[in-house]
Structure 1
Amino acid sequence: MTDVSQTLPEPPSAKRVDTTRAHHGDLFVDPYEWLRDKADPAVIAHLEAENAYTDAATAHLEQLRQNIFDEIKARTKETDLSVPARRGEWWYYARTFEGKQYGVQCRCPASHPDDWTPPRLDEVTEIPGEQVLLDQNVEAAGHDFFALGAASISPDGNILAYSVDVVGDERYTLRFKDLSTGELFADEIAGIGAGVTWATDNRTVYYITVDEAWRPDTVWRYRIGADQTAEQVYHEDDERFWLSVGRTRSDAYVLIAAGSSITSEVRYADAADPQAEFTVVLPRREGVEYSVEHAILGGQDRFLMLHNDGAVNFTLVQAPVSDPTAQQTLIAGRDDVRLDVVDAFARHLVVGYRAEGLPRIQLWPIGSDGDYQAPQEIAFDTELTSAGLATNPNWDSPKLRVGATSFITPVRIYDIDLATGERTLLREQPVLGEYRRDDYVEYRDWAYAQDGTRVPVSIVHRAGIELPAPTMLYGYGAYEMCEDPQFSISRLSLLDRGMVFAVAHVRGGGELGRLWYERGKLLEKKNSFTDFVAVGRHLIDAGVCQPGRLVAMGGSAGGLLMGAVTNLAPELFAGVVAQVPFVDPLTTILDPTLPLTVTEWDEWGNPLDDKDVYFYMKSYSPYENVAGRDYPPILAMTSLHDTRVYYVEPAKWVAALRHAKTDANPVLLKTEMNAGHGGISGRYERWKEIAFQYAWLLATAGCDTARAQDGGRVD
């Protein structure tokens, strides 16, 4: 990285005000807890000083940032529209326009009731009958931040329910628009969760509110234009459980799902009855998870349920709606296959599953007798393809829409004719310029963890570059989330400058099934960290990465990963980007009033009640394990209004690093003052943020940034 230490001002030095935490006989003195009070002008002044320092420390990268932004913009089709999806008498799609930050939701009329071939619309030509449902640019006007939560059409197509957040704290305001007149209803509901679900009477909606810890805990029912008083439908008392609500694709039922990290309970009610009572499908049992889908087989209502009762990777069963305990197994549980999801349609089922670390989909036709036919694999031609359902709102459609992508294959959307099996490519994500898939290579490799476990690694780079090369290693490793292959236009700016991009699929994720997740959580959480370090060393030993030129990036729980590995093996990394990082986990998980606490105890353990959990978390908490040693350059990025990982965690971490470390490497903190957990809003602003991170990573890894002046292409 360019040495700018001689020209930089001194970095901000946070004052030290000792606060003592006492648990299980352990006393921890925290000198920076005072930074938690964002109502304190001194806290805001400190964050602004950090931003000014970061600006100064990265000023020499301004041209590179601009080049990367220009490249992303030049490769993106700014005026564009999505593949239309049919529902009722309309084709629905989203549009973007050059120069505008946000999308526009639109629809146009279907030409014939039996025509299921989506119209090929021209993004620049006037579309006959087009109706603008919601222009997010209009909604965002005058706000520093804007996020759309719900945008849901009533079943009859006449009313749009939509919710917006203009702060970044993930509390939304719900409004209703009459699509026949374009006028807003007087009804407005503030302070709710993002989503909304319609009953089939076309006047009633269900929505969720959150408690003080941002836990979705209450489902409400509201009838538009009635007395503007919502009715509480269900409240979840157990603080470990979150709620969600939705309607089955069949439009028969509204489902309320209560779930912790390890236990589920689902309720159902008639979607046509705005006063319906909800019935429990199966009572909750500790450690048993299940999901519910509605199907009609041979004229009979059935529930399809994925559950893990006796099947660690889940099993698929069906049962009569009248007796969900009378279950028949459709797919038995397997050690090598993780069943993820089942989607029911009038004439087929779609099963999503994971095998060999990748997502796959299978089609199960339903015969005229109501029985399932032999399953059909929906396969693709590349090793690292991620495949799944695309937009399929209709219960009875002659076509199935699927999507597929890889690290080097832009997103492709297909329609599959259910009668003939014919697959039609409707769209490939456009990449402007001279992008050719053959100019890049992607492959799967395997590293060995310190306990001998094989850890999958995904690798992509430009074809023909000389290895070893500077490498960016990405990781997450929590909540059973999977870092599946996906295409990124912005990533091309790294690859074209000769950087290798790698993903460490560490334990704690779900890539290799439920056990892969369970062996990276609770009292085995450190496996996530040692796996990541093992992958980094493997990349160097295998001749992929040059020693001293490995940089790392992760966000949220992946930010915890970044903080932990910089304590575990600081010498391995040339630099680390930690996005909204969860780097003070023990302080957070000890406070039941905060988000990411009671609902997270199944993920991390309960350090309040369990001494072993307390000391285990203390042993890996990045903030509490900062020591007097050399650290790599670090860039921490956060948002003032983040309600999931408070800004105070990276602010404290950066202050502790500066105070303790023994090197001259820069430690930077960048706080977005008008954003939440997802970062700043607006696509151009996001591109600028990506360019900021990538420029820092490239320079820190020692890439030849002079190539940026001629487009960054490595020939």
Structure 2
Amino acid sequence: MLKTQIIPPRAKKIAKELNIHNEIRVDDYFWMKDRDDPEVIKYLEEENGYNEQMTAHTKQFQQELFDEMKSRIKEDDASVPYKHNGYWYYVRFETGKDYPIYARKKETLESPEEILFNVNEMAEGHSYYKLTGVNVSPDNKLVAFGVDNVSRRKYTIQIKNLETGAILPLKIETTTGSSTWANDNKTLFYTRKDEETLRSNQIFQHVLGDDPEKDMLVYQEDDETYNAYVYKTKSDKYVIIGSSSTLSDEYRILDADEPRGEFQLFQERCRGLEYSISHFEDHFYILTNKDEAVNFKLMKTSINKLAKENWEDVLPHREDVLLEDIEIFKEYLVVSERSNGLNHIRIMRWDETEDYYLPFDNETYTTGTGTNPDFDTHILRYGYNSLTTPTSIIDFNMKTKESEVKKEQSVLDKTFRKENYISERIWATAKDGTQIPISLVYKKGIQRDGSNPVLQYAYGSYGHTVDPSFSTTRLSLLNRGFVFAIAHIRGGEYLGRNWYEDGKMLQKKNTFTDFIDCTQYLIDQKWSSPQHMYAMGGSAGGLLMGVVLNEAPHLYNGVIAAVPFVDVVSTMLDDSIPLTTGEYDEWGNPNEKEYYDYMKSYSPYDNVKAQDYPNILITTGFHDSQVQYWEPSKWTAKLRELKTDKNILLFHTNMDAGHGGASGRFEALKEVAEDYAFLLDLEGKIHN
């Protein structure tokens, strides 16, 4: 069992008065924001030391879990190759190696392999290494890429000559890592981040051979609530600069053959007008909420008449169907939809002679289109998996309606049979009468007698939907009797755009009460009991965990909060913190008293109180650029100060990582093993 005689750290208190709206908040742990303060490092290391002592008895079990989860993974794995511009591209892994190898073959899969990047070699000597934005020039001779070896998501763009294998001396710092080639093979467009806020706010043009200090600024986004980015259309005809906030979008286009030209405004930003654009032949196709199309509709406009007054309906708005994405082919339009929470893939011929859906037959699956770089093909590549079914990559012939499974995820566990697991979708009733869907998966044979351990997971913000998907690591919980539940709470888009609107801004508390009501329903229906109920969420889902802990601690035996956004008021009042200003349309702007009062009423850090809390594990990364380490650090210190129980509180800071945790595929499994050992130890299943 967990040890409680070890004395936990106690952080010093230095009262800091924060004054706004004629109200003073006192923050005793404000001092933790100074990452260069030796006292801050000392506290984090003390908490890490305490965590090590408290979990020492689980170390062997964590290793067993790690080995178990690793053993299910096909180590010498590879992605399904896709063909683009004369080459087959794929990513593969080698046995025992943490990082991917990016490779290609010319024209046929029988050709010799060309290695673009062996990230295992590049990552040597780094505790964290992330390669992103692999982008090959149109003549196939150069490849641009971005590298982050700190985990602050500040990438350095470099270029490799694929004919010589040499990496050019060019280094472009503080970027998003992604870039876009013009069609002249020497002009590269890229996005630079603000050094302090890390907001993507500038688009530059670099010409090979020039000093990057002289790169031309082609666009600057001055509105602090917007982020800028650049990409090329699937047709390779246009370079697009996009600028987006939570509620509005704006695009500028440039002929990719004329990189020195002027970008042309597509449709200027209008508050509340969201749109995205795809080019095909003489038209742009526009996915948009124009004309109060809450669930979005598809429109089109001539390449010569871009403004919204010229847009024409292609697929009208439907109240019960959320339009999520489109994929354009020469003869077909493929539409990704969501209705009643479930993904659907709709295939339509442009000549209107066919219009049909791919058939899926359960309520706990996830599907979506994959990499489809070519217009002139009848083959649609898509992925499918469910809570009980490993991922398949499927090539579907839209003309003959024949399917070919190109790859099914390997589960290297001789005892695994998908028919030994059951998944289902149930509906809980929220306190306002709303029906909240819950996706469940568990091993056959469990009894609904209140004795099952249940791990309930959710996110519930930004319109991000947690779809029910397969996980090999999760088998380590299911095989030990756990039920895994995904609560599809408001704040995501599982049941359409209104599902999101009902869980943001001044409706945000619906997200939290939905989660609690789902828990209560699972208990009432004898899926579990408070002695065996667990909750988990990360980032904005960590905010959810913080509120749940304050409001309903009696319903849970343990809670895991990963990189939790818990100091909502102070963070949203500090516009120097990365991401803050762009989030006003999600949470509200606390400089306005109505929003300040509302978010202060739920902000986890501001509402920690003297009461009993369940067992808690909190994790963070010191270099996190999305949720700064001091939020969970301050929260932990305040919980230690005020909680009245003898349950354990563990806080682990990965001093080498950021928001996404460890960078290697196996190192990341160690973090999962840490989480699972925490849960299984509380259940007394540590040796099962």
Question: How high is the TM-score relative to the length of structure 2?
Answer: 0.97
**Deviations 1:236-290 (Å, cap 9, x if unpaired)?**
1111111121111011111111111111111111112121211111111111111
Residue 347 of structure 1 is matched in structure 2 by 331
Match of 2:42 in 1: 45
What does residue 16 of structure 1 align with?
Answer: 13
* Of 355, 379, 382, the match for 1:399: 379
For residues 583-606 of structure 1, the C-alpha deviation after alignment (integer angstroms, 9 at most, x for no partner) is 101100011111232111010101
Give the conservation status (yes or no) of the 8 Å contact 1:412–1:429: yes
Q: Which residue of 2 aligns with 1:375?
A: 355
Match of 2:581 among 570, 594, 598: 598
1: distance between equivalents of 2:247 and 2:602?
23
Q: How does 1:487-498 map to 2 (within 5 A)?
A: 487-498=470-481
Match of residue 698 from structure 1: 680
Alpha-carbon separation, structure 2, partners of 1:235 and 1:362: 38
**4+ residue runs over 6 A deviation:** none
Find out whether 1:431 has 2:411 as its counterpart.
yes
Q: Hey, what does 1:124 align to over in structure 2?
A: none
Alpha carbons 2:2, 2:681 under 8 Å: kept: no
Tell me what 2:438 maps to.
457
Per-residue deviation, 1:303? 3.4
Structure-2 residue corresponding to 1:683: 665
- In structure 2, give the amino acid aligned to 1:270: D
Match for 1:222 among 206, 216, 225?
206
Distance 1:547 1:573 in 2: 5
- Alignment pair present for 1:198 and 2:188: no
- Is the 2:623–2:656 Cα contact (8 Å) retained in structure 1? yes
User: Where does residue 624 of structure 1 map in the other structure?
Assistant: 606
Q: 2:283 aligns with which of 284, 301, 315?
A: 301
**Alignment partner, residue 274 of structure 2:** 289
Query: What SS class does the counterpart of residue 53 from structure 2 fall into?
Result: helix
For 1:554 and 1:308, locate their aligned partners in 2 and report how far apart those are by CA, in whole Å: 34
Q: How far apart in 1 are the matches of 2:2 and 2:540?
A: 31
Q: For 1:138, which of 116, 121, 134 is the aligned residue?
A: 121
How far did 1:409 drift? 1.0
CA distance in 2 between counterparts of 1:96 and 1:3 reads: 38
Q: Secondary structure at the match of 1:194?
A: strand
CA distance in 2, matches of 1:319, 1:379: 32
Cα offset, 1:227, TM superposition: 4.3
Over the residues paired in the alignment, what is the CA RMSD in angstroms? 1.3
Letter in 1 for 2:626: R
Shift of 1:624: 0.7
Post-superposition Cα deviations, 1:643-694, rounded to whole Å, max 9, x if no partner, equal 1100000000010001001111111110010111111111111011100011
Structure 1 match to 2:28: 31
For residues 453-501 of structure 1, give each alpha carbon's deviation from its aligned partner in whole angstroms, at most 9, with x where no partner exists: 1111010001112334100000110000000011111000000000000
Does residue 268 of structure 2 align to residue 271 of structure 1?
no
Structure 1 residue runs of 5 or longer lacking an equivalent are: 112-118, 120-126, 708-715
Q: Which of residues 211, 215, 225 is equivalent to 1:240?
A: 225
Deviations 1:33-74 (A, max 9, x none): 101101001110110010000011111111221121111111
Q: Partner letter of residue 4 of structure 1?
A: K
**In structure 2, what residue type is equivalent to 1:612?**
E
Partner of 1:711: none
Q: Is the 2:58–2:686 Cα contact (8 Å) retained in structure 1?
A: no
Query: Percent identity among equivalent residues?
Result: 43
CA contact (8 A) 1:291 1:307 kept: no
1:111-159 deviation line (CA, Å, top 9, x unaligned)? 3xxxxxxx5xxxxxxx750111101111111111111121111122221
Q: Which runs of 5+ in 2 are unaligned?
A: none
Q: 1:497–1:703: 8 Å Cα contact kept in structure 2?
A: no
Q: TM-score, normalised by structure 1?
A: 0.93
Q: Which amino acid aligns with 2:374?
A: N
1:193, CA displacement in angstroms?
Answer: 1.0
Partner Cα separation in structure 2 for residue 128 and residue 305 of structure 1: 39
Q: Distance between the aligned counterparts of 1:250 and 1:373, measured in 2?
A: 25
CA contact (8 A) 2:200 2:228 kept: yes
Supply the distance in 2 between the matched residues of 1:25 and 1:518 (Cα, whole angstroms): 30
Residue number in structure 2 paired with 1:713:
none
User: Which shows bigger deviation, 634-643 or 409-418?
Assistant: 409-418
Q: Is the 8 A contact 1:360 1:386 kept in 2?
A: no
Q: Which residue pairs with 1:173 in the alignment?
A: 156
1:102 match: 99
What amino acid is the match of 1:443? E
Name the CA shift for 1:290/1:270 in 2 (closer, same or farther; >3 Å): same
- Give the secondary-structure state (helix, strand or coil) at the position aligned to 2:678: helix
- 1:356 corresponds to which residue? 340
AA partner of residue 623 (structure 2): H
1:373 positional shift: 4.0
CA distance in 1 between counterparts of 2:11 and 2:520 reads 35
Distance 1:157 1:422 in 2: 32
Match of 2:88 in 1: 91
In structure 2, distance between residues paired with 1:319 and 1:520: 33
User: Partner of 2:400 in structure 1?
Assistant: 420
Distance 1:455 1:285 in 2: 33
Is it true that 1:261 corresponds to 2:258 in the alignment? no
Structure 2 CA distance for aligned equivalents of residues 174 and 470 of structure 1: 47
Q: Choose from 618, 633, 643 the match for 1:636.
A: 618
2:645 is aligned with 1:663 = yes
Q: Deviations over 1:591-639 (max 9, x none)?
A: 111123211101010111x111111111101011011100011111001
Other-structure match for 1:68: 65
In structure 1, the residue corresponding to 2:532 is in which secondary structure?
strand
Asked if structure 1 preserves the Cα contact closer than 8 Å seen for 2:2 and 2:54, the reply is no
Name the SS for the 2:428 alignment partner: strand
Contact 2:275 2:286 in 1 (8 A): no
Match for residue 543 of structure 1? Answer: 526
